[in-house]
Structure 1
């Protein structure tokens, strides 16, 4: 028996499949699309007409004839429509406009260390209104896609738990849509980064991937047989809150000895300051005296300059994160692990140390052809990840 709504679902799936083929293989003829996706020419033609009406696809010349008239080719129309990607972490909000190839067209960041506002939602809505004011054709916006650290119910658009921003069960999707009247998507930040890798990165062919992010916090996203594993209540991937030391410090989540307390930027910054206060020699000492605070960028520069203290602390981070990664490798047996986030981006020394550790300590059967690799997008990985939540609904509904 065909359920009510099945025909509409099939049309939507066909549309996503055809649009993705056009994105990847265009310019391409309607007949070739029909062969590739094994959908009838009539259905393909109908879907393409609808996509052209929505300005998502356009005709682009003719192809080579195999006898008879030359076929008319179609391709993605990437710049007629746009979307907004928003990456929110504990220290800043980054807002960017993207075309349909996930290319950044405009980007701006706002610090979250400024305490002139009391509610992250109100602050975010104000910043989005300011950002959208720069676009003449707001109706061409396909949607707003926002990623947060912590536990997110992507289906309901609710930030379930984010201790760093003191958010609990916040219906952010409803709030944004009520204020801006634009379709809004919400997801966990690391899930977004994994979707970006699958859609646009260097690792699109892998079906069993794990993406780990390390910066303000530590999280993981798990791709199993080409589908994101979200867990029973959407809370899978809280890698930073796995316990590695029951005699360790109390974490903000209430547990003791969480991994995040040993490898996050906050933990790293505290350790650097403690070492310097004990008289350790480092170029970071001068930075702290001049600027009053350390940044991830200055820490990276010290690592690149092979500062002994910076290298020692980087080795320590690689050790603790490596312990966690060994457990992930032995548990999930992924093809690859991608490590992104502000502490890992543009840091080949760190990636090398992680590879050395996990190859030494993981099961041999699990590390054949295995490698830990950096993010495809570097410093833009978070905001491209945010945009990818919406883009994957558009192109890849099957892996959501």
Structure 2
């Protein structure tokens, strides 16, 4: 066996052992060896290294089944941390998290009119503050950056984001050269589907699709526990699939893109047009007549009160979104579909209508046991998703 192969096996065994301690601890060395079919000497060496580096602690002795009581091991998530930076089309969030993806502190800033280099400068300035306030970075295991668009994960390059005008941006190189810390770069919906599988309520689904319905539309697709990326990292550009060939031309060059029918800017535009034409709606009352206060929460509040305009718009969203999802169901046969984003989250009426569309039009054999639900990650989902990108390497719980 070549030296490089042996080194790889050692690292894989170490990650398997650490993840087992994280999931099943407190646990003894002998249980680790038996449960993972790894030799006791290999387990002992890996555990000694993990204790020395602060990833694992000994917490006392367990019950004996005959002989000496075994020493129990527990994962120590607070001895190390990571930084996560989530770029969206409207806001950038930066956070420090522990190794269970629990947020220790966070900060957000609006993107505003920034594009291209200005977006990256804003993000780096935010990370600068976190680094300065942290002091020593010895316990930092990495930095994760997530963004909408086409991302080359291996090179850490954002190939294309049309709204933010990010083209061939070497984010990994920029961040690593600035801070000297290993950096991961990932598409945002890919990170979210990974987080739902590892930290959310969809841990039993190895075939899972996360659909972002917000300021943009995207899909993270997990097939047999592997993220589907495509040749250039562009798999999952769900918002740029065409659902209306007589629709408007999209900035991507296509016509009738889903994004132009169901994203928040599209929904907002239809509300504004209806109100400008004099249509009566609760939205007037909810915003005090100030149209600048129309936001997703207002739309969903009006919808919960069965406002006719909000209901009509939701019917349109469900028809287009449902048609697109039926295509995904028939193509990928997922076990579950997760809807997130500021339009779909906390929107049970939309979820129900989408479920009805899937039930009506998807292939029967593929829809019978399909679970359709909302994101379980809460408001910090994108930051947890970014953390999952780093932690998948540490724990080897997903091979991408």
Whole-angstrom distance in 2 between the partners of 1:303 and 1:34 = 55
Give matches, 1:125-164, under 5 Å. Answer: 125-164=124-163
Match of 1:197 in 2: 196
Question: Is 1:268 the counterpart of 2:267 in the alignment?
Answer: yes
Cα deviations across residues 110-146 of structure 1 (Å, max 9, x unaligned)? 1001559952222211111112333243321111111
Unaligned runs of 5+ in 2: none
Whole-angstrom distance in 2 between the partners of 1:11 and 1:261 = 49
Change (3 A) 1:92 1:288: farther
Give matches, 1:364-375, under 5 Å. Answer: 364-375=364-375
* Contact 1:288/1:294, CA 8 A, preserved across alignment: no
Match of 1:385 in 2: 385
Match of 1:229 in 2: 228
Whole-angstrom distance in 2 between the partners of 1:59 and 1:312 = 59
Whole-angstrom distance in 2 between the partners of 1:256 and 1:293 = 30
* Contact 1:13/1:397, CA 8 A, preserved across alignment: no
**Shift of residue 378 of structure 1?**
2.3
* Contact 2:216/2:264, CA 8 A, preserved across alignment: yes
Unaligned runs of 5+ in 1: none
Match of 1:166 in 2: 165
* Contact 1:342/1:379, CA 8 A, preserved across alignment: no
SS at match of 2:93: strand
**Shift of residue 288 of structure 1?**
7.1
SS at match of 2:337: strand
* Contact 1:241/1:260, CA 8 A, preserved across alignment: yes
Whole-angstrom distance in 1 between the partners of 2:242 and 2:70 = 60
**Shift of residue 105 of structure 1?**
1.5
Give matches, 1:293-332, under 5 Å. Answer: 293-332=293-332
Whole-angstrom distance in 1 between the partners of 2:291 and 2:368 = 46
SS at match of 1:165: coil
Whole-angstrom distance in 2 between the partners of 1:341 and 1:82 = 27
Match of 1:68 in 2: 67
**Shift of residue 333 of structure 1?**
1.1
Whole-angstrom distance in 2 between the partners of 1:147 and 1:115 = 17
Mean Cα displacement is larger for which, 129-138 or 10-19? Answer: 129-138
Change (3 A) 1:173 1:332: same
SS at match of 2:186: strand
Whole-angstrom distance in 1 between the partners of 2:25 and 2:38 = 17
**Shift of residue 81 of structure 1?**
0.8
Match of 2:90 in 1: 91
Cα deviations across residues 126-184 of structure 1 (Å, max 9, x unaligned)? 11111233324332111111110011011111101111110111100100111122211
SS at match of 2:100: coil
Whole-angstrom distance in 1 between the partners of 2:127 and 2:363 = 47
Cα deviations across residues 340-394 of structure 1 (Å, max 9, x unaligned)? 1121112222211111110111111111111211111122211111111001111
Whole-angstrom distance in 2 between the partners of 1:90 and 1:194 = 19
How does the TM-score come out when normalised to structure 1? 0.96
The list of structure 1 runs, each at least 4 consecutive aligned residues, that deviate by more than 6 angstroms after superposition, is: none
**Shift of residue 4 of structure 1?**
4.9
Cα deviations across residues 219-244 of structure 1 (Å, max 9, x unaligned)? 11111112111112211111111111
Match of 2:49 in 1: 50
Change (3 A) 1:108 1:390: same
Match of 2:105 in 1: 106
**Shift of residue 89 of structure 1?**
0.6
SS at match of 2:342: coil
Question: Is 1:339 the counterpart of 2:339 in the alignment?
Answer: yes
SS at match of 2:230: coil
Change (3 A) 1:116 1:16: closer
Whole-angstrom distance in 2 between the partners of 1:158 and 1:217 = 20
